[in-house]
Structure 1
């Protein structure tokens, strides 16, 4: 398992809390808060685009 540095949880309305993490190779990770051993990984730019779309209301149903 990679060495992931997790940021503080981001919590929207209700129970939709997730965390963003990065590793030393420049990969980005996203996981449901409390379940960081089950994560999605992609480039930092791809996950940044996903989060931007979620915050813009384009994909809030995914959380």
Structure 2
């Protein structure tokens, strides 16, 4: 498995903090800040689409 490079935590309102990560193989990762050993993985494009949808208010209940 490739090493994951994690970005700085992103925190919304309350306790909704998460981190985004990438690896050299083109995969993207999302995890709850402080629990990076349990994560979701998908393509960078899928993760980018999800984040843009959240920012657009389409899925703000996820945060």
TM class by shorter chain equals over 0.9
Distance 2:22 2:10 in 1: 15
Distance 1:2 1:37 in 2: 13
Question: 2:15 — aligned with what?
Answer: 15
Q: CA RMSD in A?
A: 0.9
Q: Which runs of 5+ in 1 are unaligned?
A: none
Question: 2:40 — aligned with what?
Answer: 40
Moved over 4 A (4+): none
For normalisation by structure 2, the TM-score amounts to 0.94
Q: Which runs of 5+ in 2 are unaligned?
A: none
Distance 1:2 1:25 in 2: 7
Distance 2:14 2:2 in 1: 30
For normalisation by structure 1, the TM-score amounts to 0.94
Distance 2:32 2:18 in 1: 4
Aligned residues: 63
CA shift for structure 1 position 46:
0.2
